[in-house]
Amino acid sequence: MAQRKAFRWHIAVFLAPAVLVYTAIMIVPLFGTLNLSLFNTGEGGRVFVGLRNFATLFGDPRWSASFWNALGNNAWFFLVHMLVQNPVGVALAALLSSPRLRGAAFYRTAIFIPTILSFVIVGFVWKLILSPIWGIAPGMLDAVGLKSLFAPWLGREGTALTTLALISVWQFVGIPMMLIYAALLSIPDEVIEAAEMDGVTGWSQFWKIKLPLILPSIGIISILTFVGNFNAFDLIYVTQGALAGPNFSTDILGTFLYRTFFGFQLQIGDPHMGATIATAMFGIILLGVSFYLFAIQRRLRRYQF
Amino acid sequence: MTKTIRLALLASTLLGSAAWAQDVTLTIESWRNDDLAIWQEKIIPAFEAANPGIKINFAPSAPPEYNAVLNSKLDAGSAGDLITCRPFDASLELFKKGKLADLSDLAAMANFSDVAKSAWQTDDGTQTFCVPMASVIHGFIYNKTAFEELGLTPPKTEAEFFALLDKIKEDGTYIPMAMGTADQWEAATMGYQNIGPTYWKGEEGRKALIEGTQKLTDEPWVAPFRQLAKWKDYLGDGFEAQTYPDSQNLFTLGRAAIYPAGSWEIGVFGPQIGGAFEMGAFPPPVPAEGDTCYISDHTDIALGMNAATKHPEEARKFLEWVGSSEFASLYANALPGFFSLNSAPVEMEDPLAKEFVGWRETCEPTIRSTYQILSRGTPNLENETWTASANVITGAETPEAAAERLQQGLASWYAPQQQ
Tens of pLDDT, residues A25-71 = 999 999 999 999 999 887 767 888 889 999 999 999 889 999 999 99
Name B280's bridge partners: B142
CATH 3.40.1390.30 fits B2-134+299-349, yes or no: no
B139 in helix, strand or coil?
Answer: strand
Per-residue confidence (pLDDT) for residue B20, from 0 to 100: 46
Shortest distance, CA A269 to any CA of chain B (angstroms) = 9
Find the Cα–Cα–Cα–Cα dihedral B254, B258, B262, B263, rounded to 10°. 70
The closest alpha carbon to B242, from A166, A168, A128, A140, belongs to A128
Number of compact structural domains in chain A: 1
> What span, in angstroms and rounded, lies between the C-alpha atoms of A78 and A71?
10
DSSP letter, residue B292 = P
Judge whether A219 lies within some domain: yes
Burial of A32 (0-12, 13-18, 19+ CB in 10 A): exposed
Closest residue, chain A, to B392 (C-alpha): A247
Mean pLDDT, all residues of chain A: 90
Can you give the three-state secondary structure of B230-278, one letter per residue? HHHHHECCCHHHCCHHHHHHHHHCCCEEEEEEECCHHHHHHHHHCCCCC
Name A48's bridge partners: A39
Name B28's bridge partners: B58, B82
Per-residue confidence (pLDDT) for residue B18, from 0 to 100: 43
Name B121's bridge partners: B128
Tens of pLDDT, residues A224-234 = 999 999 999 99
Please report, for the domain that includes residue A209, its CATH number: 1.10.3720.10
Angle at A39 between CA B65 and CA B408, to 5 degrees: 70
Per-residue confidence (pLDDT) for residue B381, from 0 to 100: 92
Per DSSP bridges, beta strands B175-177 and B130-143 are: unpaired
Q: Which residues on B lie below 8 Å from A245 (Cβ)? A: 181-184, 387, 390
CATH topology identical between B2-134+299-349 and B137-296+367-417: yes
Write down the pTM of the prediction: 0.83
Q: Which residues on B lie below 8 Å from A267 (Cβ)? A: 375, 378, 380, 382-383
Query: What is the domain partition of chain B in residue ranges?
Result: 2-134+299-349, 137-296+367-417
Name B302's bridge partners: B85, B132
* Domain span at A91: 52-299
Cβ–Cβ contacts within 10 Å for residue A242, how many? 20
Per-position b or e across B60-99, b if 16+ CB within 10 A of its CB: bbeeeebbebbbebbeeeebbbbbbbbbbbbbbbbbeeeb
Per-residue confidence (pLDDT) for residue B19, from 0 to 100: 39
DSSP secondary structure string for all residues of B34-84: GGHHHIIIIIHHHHHHHSTTEEEEEEE--GGGHHHHHHHHHHHT---SEEE
Compute CA A188 distance to the chain's CA centroid, rounded to the nearest angstrom: 31
Residues on chain B bordering chain A, Cβ-to-Cβ distance under 8 angstroms: 67-68, 88-90, 93, 180-185, 236-243, 246, 249-250, 370-371, 375, 378-380, 382-383, 386-387, 390-391, 394, 396-397, 409, 412
Tens of pLDDT, residues A191-204 = 989 999 998 888 89
Per-residue confidence (pLDDT) for residue A305, from 0 to 100: 63
Find the Cα–Cα–Cα–Cα dihedral B188, B193, B199, B202, rounded to 10°. 150
Q: Are B375 and A156 a contacting pair at CB < 8 A?
A: no
Judge whether A46 lies within some domain: no
Per-residue confidence (pLDDT) for residue A278, from 0 to 100: 95
Burial of A246 (0-12, 13-18, 19+ CB in 10 A): buried
- Which of B383, B394, B397 is the closest to A243 by Cβ? B383
ipTM of the prediction? 0.82
> What span, in angstroms and rounded, lies between the C-alpha atoms of B100 and B136?
24
Per-residue confidence (pLDDT) for residue A147, from 0 to 100: 83
> What span, in angstroms and rounded, lies between the C-alpha atoms of A183 and A200?
20
Give every CB contact of residue B382 below 8 A, 6+ residues apart in sequence: A265, A266, A267, B188, B368, B370, B371, B374, B375
Compute CA B195 distance to the chain's CA centroid, rounded to the nearest angstrom: 15
The amino acid occupying position B416 is P
> What span, in angstroms and rounded, lies between the C-alpha atoms of B367 and A26?
46
Taking the domain B137-296+367-417, which CATH number applies? Answer: 3.40.190.10
Q: Are A154 and B182 a contacting pair at CB < 8 A?
A: yes
Per DSSP bridges, beta strands B294-305 and B364-366 are: parallel
Tens of pLDDT, residues A258-295 = 999 887 777 777 889 999 999 999 999 999 999 998 88
- Tens-binned pLDDT, residue by residue, of chain B (419 aa): 455 556 555 555 544 444 345 788 999 999 888 788 889 998 999 999 999 889 999 999 877 778 878 888 898 899 999 999 998 888 998 999 899 999 999 999 999 988 788 889 998 888 999 999 999 999 999 999 999 999 999 999 999 999 999 999 999 999 999 999 998 989 999 999 999 999 999 999 999 999 999 999 999 999 999 999 999 999 988 899 999 999 999 999 999 999 999 998 998 898 888 889 999 999 999 999 889 999 999 998 999 999 999 999 999 999 999 999 899 988 988 888 899 888 888 888 889 999 998 998 899 989 999 988 888 888 889 989 999 999 999 999 999 999 999 999 999 999 999 87
Q: Which residue has the higher pLDDT, A296 or B137?
A: B137
Q: Are A266 and B382 a contacting pair at CB < 8 A?
A: yes
Per-residue confidence (pLDDT) for residue A284, from 0 to 100: 94
DSSP letter, residue B294 = E
Closest residue, chain B, to A245 (C-alpha): B182
Phi, psi for residue B157 in degrees, rounded to 5: -110, 165
Give every CB contact of residue A297 below 8 A, 6+ residues apart in sequence: A219
